[in-house]
Amino acid sequence: MAVLGSAQPDGVPQAAPVEAEATVAARARMVREQIAARGIKDVRVLEALGRVPRHEFLPSSQRLRAYEDGPVPIGEGQTMSQPYIVAFMSAALELKPTDRVLEIGTGSGYQAAVLAELAAEVFTIENVEGLAWRAEGDLKRLGYGRVKVRVGDGYLGWPEAAPFDAIIVTCAPERVPEALVQQLKVGGKMIIPVGPQNGDQELYLLRKHKAGMETKAVLPVRFVPMVKGL
Ligand code: SAH
C-alpha cells in the first residue's frame, strides 16, 4: 500500500500502517456494486479504484461517507465526485501507462491519484488555494508525490507542460475552453462536463483529429461550475 511509514524516535523505520480491514472491504464493495455492476469493465480502472484510499482524501468529518454511492463535500463548497463518475471518466480516456494527463479541478486530489495509477505523469490545476495545498499534501502523504499540483485558472491550462495525451475536467464550463483544445495532442482525448451553472450539463468525450474535433455526448451530469479566474 502507498502509505509512508514514519520513523520511530530512535530512527528505526516502522512498517507502513496497515489499512483497517473495514475500509478495504468497503472499497472492494464500492468497486463491485457501484462500478463493475454498472458496466465499467476496464480492469486497470477497477484496480485503480480498488487501490486508492478514497477516505484519506476527505476531511475527517466526511470520512465515513467515502464509500457511499454519491458525491461527498470536501470544504469550500466543493465536492468529490461520485465513485461511478470518477470511474466512468477515467475509463473514457483509455489511458496508457506512458500517457501524460492534465486534470482541471484538483479538489481533494482523489481523481488525480486515480489518474496517477493509470498514467505516467499527472498535472492538476485548482483555483482555490486552500484545496490545492491540502490535496498536494495528501497526495504526497499517500505516495502520489509525482502528481504536479498548480494553483491557477484551469481556463488557461498548463501551456509549459503541453501537449497532453488526455485532459479531464471535473468542473463544468459553459463551453469547452479553447486553450484546453489547443493543449491536447492530435489523437488525444478530453472528457469534460459542459452546461449552465447548476443546471443540466452533459459529459462530452472529445477526440482531437488533424482535421478538427470529434464530439460525443456520453452522460447527463451535474458538476460544480468552472469559475473564471482565481
Ligand atoms: N476532481 C476533484 C473534484 C473536483 S470538484 C476530486 O477528485 O476531488 C471541482 C473543482 O474544480 C473544485 O475544487 C473547484 O474549486 C475547481 N475549479 C472550479 N473552477 C476552476 C478553474 N477555473 N480552474 C481550476 N479549478 C477550478
Question: Catalytic positions, please?
Answer: 81
pLDDT tens readout for residues 59-92 = 999 999 999 999 999 999 999 999 999 999 999 9
Looking up residue 14, the CATH number of its domain turns out to be 3.40.50.150
Q: Is residue 7 part of a domain?
A: yes
Under a CB-based contact definition with an 8 Å cutoff, are residues 114 and 86 in contact? yes
Closest to 111 in 3D by CA, of 60, 166, 168: 168
Q: What angle do CA 76, 82, 85 make, to 5 degrees?
A: 120
Output the residue whose Cα is nearest ligand 1's atom 23. 154
* Ligand 1 centre distance from Cα of residue 16 (Å): 31
pLDDT tens readout for residues 158-179 = 999 999 999 999 999 999 999 9
SS3 state at 85: helix
Under a CB-based contact definition with an 8 Å cutoff, are residues 5 and 142 in contact? no
Instruction: Tell me the one-letter amino acid at 137.
Output: G
The closest-lying atom of ligand 1 relative to the alpha carbon of residue 226 is: 19
Q: Is residue 226 part of a domain?
A: no
SS3 state at 107: coil
Q: Is residue 230 part of a domain?
A: no
Looking at the structure of the chain, the number of domains it has is: 1
pLDDT at position 198 is 76
* Ligand 1 centre distance from Cα of residue 230 (Å): 11
Q: Is residue 163 part of a domain?
A: yes
Q: Is pLDDT at 130 greater than 60 in this prediction?
A: yes
* Ligand 1 centre distance from Cα of residue 170 (Å): 6
The closest-lying atom of ligand 1 relative to the alpha carbon of residue 103 is: 1
What is the number of other CB atoms lying within 10 angstroms of the CB of residue 62?
18
Q: Report the relative pairing of strands 148-151 and 164-169 from DSSP bridges.
A: unpaired
C-alpha–C-alpha distance, residues 37 and 134, integer Å: 33
Its domain, for residue 209, covers: 2-221
Q: Is 62 in the pocket of ligand 1 (CB under 6 A)?
A: no
